[in-house]
Amino acid sequence: MSTAMKTGLLPLCVCLLLASGSGEAGKLLVVPMDGSHWFTMRSVVEKLIERGHELVVVMPEVSWQLGQSLNCTVKSYRTSHTLEDMDRVFEDFARYQWKVREDNLFNVKKGPLYNLFELIFSHCRSLFNDKKLVEYLKETSFDAVFLDPFDTCGLIVAKYLSLPSVVFTRGVFCHYLEEATQCPYSLSYVPRGLLRFTDVMTFKERVWNHITHFQERLFCHHFFKSILELASEVFPEPVTLYDLFSHTSIWLIRTDFVFDYPKPVMPNMVYVGGINCHRGKPLSKVSSSSFSLEGVLVFFINALI
C-alpha cells in the first residue's frame, strides 16, 4: 500500500482505535504538541469531531499554532513565557541546526536543543499549577488521552488520570519507544538514529552502535531531568521515563515502515502514514506563450504571488 493511501486512511484508523465501541462515540482528552506536530494531529482531531466524538483539548495560552479555532471544548492554562520568548528559543535552535549537526548527545546538554526542550517541558508545570484545570480533568469522565509524546506532558496526564493513552508520533527521542513497547531492537542490526549507519553494519560500526546506545542511557535521564522532577512531584513516588512511556495503550506511528530500518513491531504499534506538514494549497495557474526570458520571469513572479 502506498504512503499516500496510508495517509488518507489515517483518520479512519484513529477513529477505529479510539472509538469506545462499535458505533459509539468516545470522550477524549487531547494533549497536543505545538508547531509542525499540530498540523497532522489537527486533521485527525477534526475528523474525530466530525464522527461524533466529544473532545477536550488542553493547551497553553501562548502558542504558535494551537490558538486556532476548534469546534470542540478548549481548556487553556497560563505559561511563564511569552510568544517572543518562544520565537527567540526556536530561532536559536534553527540557526544552530544549520551550523552544526551533532553526532554526540553529550554535546547538546546545554545547547539550543536542550533550551527548546526545557521551554516545552515548562508547559507541563504550568498545567499542573492550574489547580482549577486539574480538578476539572479529574472530575470529567474521559475514555482515553490522545497525545503527542514529544511534549511528554500528555504521558504524565494520562498516568495521573489513570486513563488509557493513544500516542500519535513520528518517533521518540532516545530509546524509550523500544523499551516501553518491549520491542526487540538488536543493536547489531538496527543502528541508532544519530549515527546514520545502514542496517548492514561492519563490526566496527556495530561496536560504535552499542557505545552510542550506552551514551543515550547516560544522557537521556539528564536531558529529561526537569520533566522527571515534575512527575515526581505529581505522583506520590518517583517516576521514571519507562513508567511514563510504558503506560501507553496504542502507538500510532506516523510514518511508513518502509522508511525505517527492518525491525520487529509489537501488536500495539500501528503504522498510519503521514508526516508533520500543513495541507498545501493548489498552485496558482499561470500562462506563458513562449520560453523567452521575459516569459520565464513572469512565470516565476506569478507563481510566487
- Per-residue pLDDT band at 10 (split at 50, 70, 90): very low
pLDDT at 244 exceeding the cut of 80 = yes
- Given a cut of 50, whether residue 292 has pLDDT beyond it is no
User: Cβ atoms within 10 A of the Cβ of 294, count?
Assistant: 10
Residue 20 pLDDT greater than 50, yes or no: no
What radius of gyration do the chain's Cα atoms show? 21
Sheet containing 27-31: which strands, arranged edge to edge? Answer: 73-77, 54-60, 27-31, 144-147, 165-169, 250-253, 269-271
Neighbours of 31 (CB within 10 A): 25
Q: What's the pLDDT at 134? A: 96
Q: Where is pLDDT greater, at 277 or 199?
A: 199
pLDDT at position 163 = 95
pLDDT of residue 204: 94
* Maximum alpha-carbon separation in the chain: 74
Under 8 Å between Cβ of 122 and 38:
no
Q: What is the mean pLDDT of residues 214-223?
A: 83
| Amino acid 301: pLDDT | 39
Please determine, for residue 14, whether its predicted confidence score (pLDDT) is greater than 80: no
Torsion over CA: 192, 195, 197, 201 (sign) = negative
pLDDT for position 277 = 62
- What is the pLDDT confidence band of residue 291, given thresholds at 50, 70 and 90? very low
Quickly state the pLDDT bin for 305 (edges 50, 70, 90).
very low
Question: Could you confirm whether domain 3-304 is CATH 3.40.50.2000?
Answer: yes
**288: confidence class by pLDDT, cuts 50, 70, 90:** very low
- The whole-angstrom distance between residue 64's C-alpha and the CA centroid of its chain comes to 15
Specify the pLDDT at position 190.
87
Higher confidence at residue 99 or residue 119?
119
Residues 145/92, Cβ–Cβ less than 8 Å: no
Give dist(CA 91, CA 99) in Å, integer: 13
Determine the Cα–Cα distance for residues 272 and 256; give it in Å rounded to an integer.
7
Question: 34-67: per-residue pLDDT in tens?
Answer: 888 888 888 889 999 999 999 999 999 988 888 6
- At residue 103, the pLDDT reads 54
Q: Name which residue leads in pLDDT, 102 or 194.
A: 194
* Averaged confidence pLDDT in the chain: 80
Question: Does 217 score more than 50 pLDDT?
Answer: yes
Could you tell me the pLDDT band of residue 252, with boundaries at 50, 70 and 90?
very high
Predicted confidence band of residue 27 (pLDDT cuts 50, 70, 90): very high
**Per-residue pLDDT, 154:** 94
Domain ranges of the chain: 3-304
Q: At what angle do helices 153-160 and 225-234 cross, to 10 degrees?
A: 20
Calpha distance 287→221 (Å, rounded): 58
In this prediction, residues 98-112 reach a mean pLDDT of 61
pLDDT reported for residue 9: 43
Cell numbers for 194, please give them. Answer: 544519530
33 residue type, one letter: M
For the chain, the three-class secondary structure string (H helix, E strand, C coil) is CCHHHHHHHHHHHHHHHHCCCCCCCCEEEEECCCCHHHHHHHHHHHHHHHCCCEEEEEEECCCCCCCCCCCCEEEEECCCCCHHHHHHHHHHHHHHHHHCCCCCHHHHCCCHHHHHHHHHHHHHHHHHHCHHHHHHHHHCCCCEEEECCCCCHHHHHHHHCCCCEEEEECCCCCCHHHHHCCCCCCCCCCCCHHHCCCCCCCHHHHHHHHHHHHHHHHHHHHHCHHHHHHHHHHCCCCCCHHHHHCCCCEEEECCCHHHCCCCCCCCCEEECCCCCCCCCCCCCCCCCCCCCHHHHHHHHHHHHC
% of the chain at pLDDT higher than 90: 33
